[in-house]
């Protein structure tokens, strides 16, 4: 229950951060944001590029506790698929990470990105990391 409240408040804060009063203004540049760790010690990292206050590029990766990236090897054991169902679920999450990043660039708004069933932890990490990056990019004044 505490997790649900935490993520609800985090997403509400993110919404306020992204919409702001009269729209947010961001400095051009490339910014990196990082999420907190999940129960398995994995975390998300997003790199966004901003041009004319718009997000023009977004890359999103998640890292496992051991420092390895979740990629096409994610879900394998010693380089082999030992459990096809587990591997398929892991790869589904990897594909969702790419969709989240592409979705942020297309409309340029986190509000337009929905969580994908089966990849909600990645979604939570993505939104938290984007918020972190946009906080760094926000123009003061």
Cβ partners under 8 Å of residue 35, min gap 6? 43, 44, 45, 124, 125, 126, 128, 129, 132
Alpha-helix runs per DSSP H in the chain: 2-19, 84-105, 120-137
Q: Which residues share a beta bridge with 59? A: 47
Q: In what order do the strands lie in the sheet with 54-63?
A: 29-34, 43-51, 54-63
Give me the helix-helix angle, 2-19 and 120-137, nearest 10°. Answer: 40
Per-residue pLDDT of the chain (141 residues; tens, 9 = 90+): 545 444 443 444 444 444 433 356 899 999 999 999 999 999 999 999 999 989 999 999 999 999 999 999 999 999 999 999 999 999 999 999 999 999 999 877 788 899 999 999 999 999 999 999 999 999 754
- Taken in order of first residue, the domains within the chain and their CATH numbers are 2-137 (3.90.1010.20)
Which tokens in the block code for residue 11? 């997403």
pTM metric for this prediction = 0.77
Residue located via tokens 């090897």: 73
């Amino acid at each position: 229950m505490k997790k649900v409240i935490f993520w609800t408040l985090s997403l509400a804060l993110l919404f306020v951060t992204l919409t702001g009063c009269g729209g947010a203004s961001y400095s051009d540049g490339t910014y990196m944001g990082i999420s907190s760790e999940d129960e398995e010690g994995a975390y998300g990292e997003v790199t966004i590029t901003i041009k004319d206050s718009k997000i023009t590029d977004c890359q999103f990766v998640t890292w496992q506790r051991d420092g390895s990236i979740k990629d096409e090897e994610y879900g394998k054991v010693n380089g082999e698929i030992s459990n096809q169902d587990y591997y398929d679920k892991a790869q589904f999450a990897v594909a969702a990470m790419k969709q989240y990043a592409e979705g942020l660039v297309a409309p340029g708004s986190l509000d337009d990105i929905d969580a994908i069933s089966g990849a909600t932890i990645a979604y939570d990490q993505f939104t938290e990391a984007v918020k972190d990056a946009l906080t760094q990019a926000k123009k003061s004044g």
